[in-house]
Amino acid sequence: MAHLNNSLFILSLSLIFLQFFHTAVARGGQRDPGFVDIPYAASRRHLSEENHFQKLNALARGYMTNSDLEKAIKAFHGRCRHISRIYSIGRSVLGVPLWVMEISNNPGKEEAKPAFKFVGNVHGDEPVGRELMLLLANWLCDNYNKDPMATLIVDNVHLHILPSMNPDGFSLRRRGNANHVDLNRDFPDQFFSINNDIDERQPETKAIMSWIKDIRFTASASLHGGALVANYPWDGTKDKSKSYYACPDDEVFIYMAKLYSGSHYNMSLSKEFDAGITNGAYWYPIYGGMQDWNYIYGGCFELTLEISDNKWPPANELHMIWEYNKRSMLDLVASLVKSGVHGRIFSSDCGYPLPASIAIKGINYTIKSSETLADYHRLLAPGHQYEVVATMPGYKTRTTTIVVKEELMTLDFILEPEITIADRFLPNRCVSRRSLNIFAVISKSHMQVSLTLILVLAFLFFLMKRKAIVNHFKVRKLIRQRRVSAV
Ligand SMILES: *[C@@H]1O[C@H](CO)[C@@H](O)[C@H](O)[C@H]1NC(C)=O
Ligand SMILES: *[C@@H]1O[C@H](CO)[C@@H](O)[C@H](O)[C@H]1NC(C)=O
Ligand SMILES: [Zn+2]
């Protein structure tokens, strides 16, 4: 008897703790009118865990299971091969692949186009997003070359969709992953040294972090439930206060968030959030979130979208919720090619693409053009004049003034090398620069270049400086080109 009492006591303690934990750290669940309160209220009435789980299962009726989701992703790809590719970015704690659908007219190819990502089901108990992701992918496929918006997106953006970041949490009917970790608190933080231990980091978080390093996303959105609002950085404050904390691109984020809420069925009519948008820290600060990490370390402008007050609306309402969000989702993705400034950066002497930096005067934030194609994509709030600054070590900085309107603006930069004394003695600057660049790229991406490889490269470098080899290269290039034009 005493033993039973003890267990009950421990159970109630942990439930009280859970509830405290929930209200203290939820993003999008702080004042949940609907579902989330049910298990806690129920647990106060000492319902057993099993009963609780059954209730959750009843709510999940009609939603795709993890294996349904995998089948749906593969079926989508099977149906839409011409504009899609599927790949997995890793596995969850329980080994479920984290499938991504890439939608583009050239899926998997590196092109001078911006990339957007959607991430659904970050919290296991917020499943609406994962359903909408499949509806979005299929809508794009069905409407490509029929609807101008679908065509615009497929032809000009690489859209990557991860329907579920947390399949384990979904199948366990809980917010955290299989290790009880809230994945939206598991990223490194700008203010506090939390989550810096790589061994402690969850596999789902690791997968997202390396994905962001692999693919240069210009913007993204994660989908949550429990509220109806478009949330933008910063999510945290330096002093942990609950107050508006603007990031350098506050205006751009307000523009993006308003674009979403304004195109939504009724998000902008919110009584709780002015215009249906909010600064994260103003709502309530969180630390280790995915959104801020994307902006700081990924060069990616991410919104956190709360798309449904009810975390588990009946499955027969999902199609309606998709209709409410459809225009917003499409507009947000299309904003990558309907606004901001885009272009490529080349060197004036040899025309090579340069992996340069792009900054805007007055905004303390820098993006980089890609290593290979040197394209950059900089979102900006329309209606202003900006000074765009392109910098690259060894080249003269260039600044151009532009006026951004609600339309795509293209701006290429051609940077002139700073002539140094050393350059004058190089027999063929273009070839030398190129081999130097190749060397830089190789040594950067492979930190452990072996000594032999260095020697081989040095030897090649020496050879390439010799005219004979240069000529040989030119001949080979000509042959290659001819072959291409004959195809
Ligand atoms: C938006 O519409 C849904 C569905 O009709 C409703 O439940 C919700 O309260 C509405 N929200 C606002 C802010 O109008
Ligand atoms: C610009 O941002 C960096 C962090 O990204 C910060 O260290 C630096 O102090 C900022 N500079 C200014 C002038 O605010
Ligand atoms: Zn959430």
Counting runs of H as helices and runs of E as strands, what totals does the chain give? 16, 16
**450 pLDDT exceeds 90?**
no
**Position 255 confidence tier, pLDDT thresholds 50, 70, 90:** very high
Residue 133 scores a pLDDT above 80? yes
**Residues near 418 by beta carbon (within 8 Å), at least 6 away in sequence:** 394, 395, 396
- The first and second tokens of residue 142, run together, are 């069905």
Residue closest to 100 by CA, chosen among 218, 208, 172: 208
Please give the Cα distance from 177 to 105 (Å, whole number). Answer: 34
For residue range 49-77, what is the model confidence (pLDDT) as tens digits?
788 888 888 999 999 999 999 999 999 99
Q: Does the beta carbon of 228 lie inside 6 Å of ligand 1? A: yes
Q: Return the ligand number nearest the Cα of 321.
A: 1
Q: What percent of the chain has pLDDT over 90?
A: 73
Note residues around ion ligand 3 (Cβ under 5 angstroms): 28, 123, 126, 224
Q: Which residues contact 58 (CB under 8 A, 6 or more apart)?
A: none
Nearest CA to ligand 1 atom 7: 309
Q: What is the pLDDT of residue 102?
A: 98
Query: Stretch 83-109: mean pLDDT, rounded?
Result: 98
* Pocket lining: 266 vs ligand 1, CB cutoff 6 Å: yes
Report pLDDT for 273: 98
Q: What is the pLDDT of residues 274-296, one digit of tens each?
A: 999 999 999 999 999 999 999 99
29 touches 124 (CB < 8 A): no
Active centre residues (catalytic): 306
Band (pLDDT 50/70/90 cuts) for residue 48 is confident
Confirm or reject CATH 3.40.630.10 for domain 66-338, answering yes or no.
Answer: yes
Tens of pLDDT, residues 310-328: 999 999 999 999 999 999 9
> Using a 6 Å cutoff on CB, does residue 320 contact ligand 1?
no
The stretch 251-277 carries a mean pLDDT of: 98
**Mean predicted confidence (pLDDT) in 209-219:** 97
Q: Which residues of 63-95 are buried (b: 16+ CB within 10 A; e: fewer)?
A: bbebeebbebbeebbeebeebbbbeebbebbee
Q: What's the CA gap between 159 and 117, in Å, rounded?
A: 6
Mean pLDDT for 243-267 is: 98
Predicted confidence (pLDDT) at residue 180 exceeds the cutoff of 50: yes
d(CA 149, CA 155): 10
**Ligand 1 contacts CB of residue 336 (under 6 A):** no
CA of 246 to the centre of ligand 2 (A): 13
Test site for ligand 1: of 228, 308, 317, most ligand atoms within 8 A of the Cβ: 228
Find out whether the beta carbon of 229 lies less than 6 Å from any atom of ligand 1: no
Judge whether residue 424 has pLDDT over 80. no
Ligand 3 centroid to Cα of residue 271, in Å, is 20
**In the predicted structure, residue 431 carries a pLDDT above the cut 70:** no
What sign does the dihedral 314-319-323-325 (CA atoms) show?
positive
270 lines ligand 1 (CB under 6 A): yes
Ligand nearest to the CA of 267: 1
Average pLDDT over residues 446-459: 60
The amino acid at 212: I
The closest-lying atom of ligand 1 relative to the alpha carbon of residue 310 is 7
pLDDT at 86 over 50: yes
Token pair of 72, please? 């749906």
Instruction: Name the residue ranges covered by the structural domains of the chain.
Output: 66-338, 341-439, 446-486
Range from 86-100, 148-162, 441-455 carrying the lowest mean pLDDT: 441-455
The ligand with the least distance to the CA atom of 295 is: 2
Residue 459 pLDDT: 66
Whether residue 234 is preceded by a cis peptide bond, meaning omega within 30 degrees of 0, is yes
CA of 53 to the centre of ligand 3 (A): 19
How many Å lie between the centroid of ligand 3 and the Cα of residue 137? 22
Residue 80 pLDDT exceeds 90:
yes
Averaged pLDDT for residues 384-399: 97
- Nearest CA among 384, 377, 368, 298 for reference residue 340: 377
Question: Is 269 close to ligand 1, i.e. is its CB under 6 Å away?
Answer: yes
CA of 160 to the centre of ligand 3 (A): 20
Q: Please state the length of the chain.
A: 487
Residue 481's pLDDT band, with cuts at 50, 70 and 90, is: very low
Kindly provide the residue ranges of all beta strands, DSSP E only, lying in 81-121, ordered along the sequence.
84-91, 97-103, 115-119
| 182 close to 165: Cβ distance less than 8 angstroms | no
Q: Is 308 in the pocket of ligand 1 (CB under 6 A)?
A: no
Ligand at shortest distance from the CA of 272: 1
* Ligand 1 atom at minimal distance to the Cα of residue 320: 4
Residue with the bigger pLDDT between 244 and 468: it is 244
Check if the beta carbon of residue 140 is closer than 8 Å to that of residue 102: no
The residues, ordered by sequence, that sit 6+ positions from 194 with a Cβ below 8 Å of its Cβ are 188, 287, 288
Nearest atom, ligand 1, residue 276 CA: 13
Could you identify the residue written with the tokens 């195809």? 487
Predicted confidence band at 198 (pLDDT cuts at 50, 70, 90)? very high
Superfamily of domain 341-439: Carboxypeptidase-like, regulatory domain (2.60.40.1120)
Q: Hey, how many other C-beta atoms are within 10 angstroms of the C-beta on 433? A: 19
**Index of the ligand 1 atom closest to the CA of residue 271:** 13
Question: If you average pLDDT over every residue of the chain, what do you get?
Answer: 85
Which of 7-11, 31-35, 248-252, 346-350 has the lowest average pLDDT?
31-35
The C-alpha torsion from 30 through 34 and 35 to 38, rounded to 10°, is 90
Which pLDDT value is given to residue 340?
A: 96
pLDDT at 107 over 90: yes
Picking from 19-33, 163-177, 270-284, which range would have the lowest pLDDT averaged per residue? Answer: 19-33
- What is the pLDDT, as a whole number, of residue 484? 27
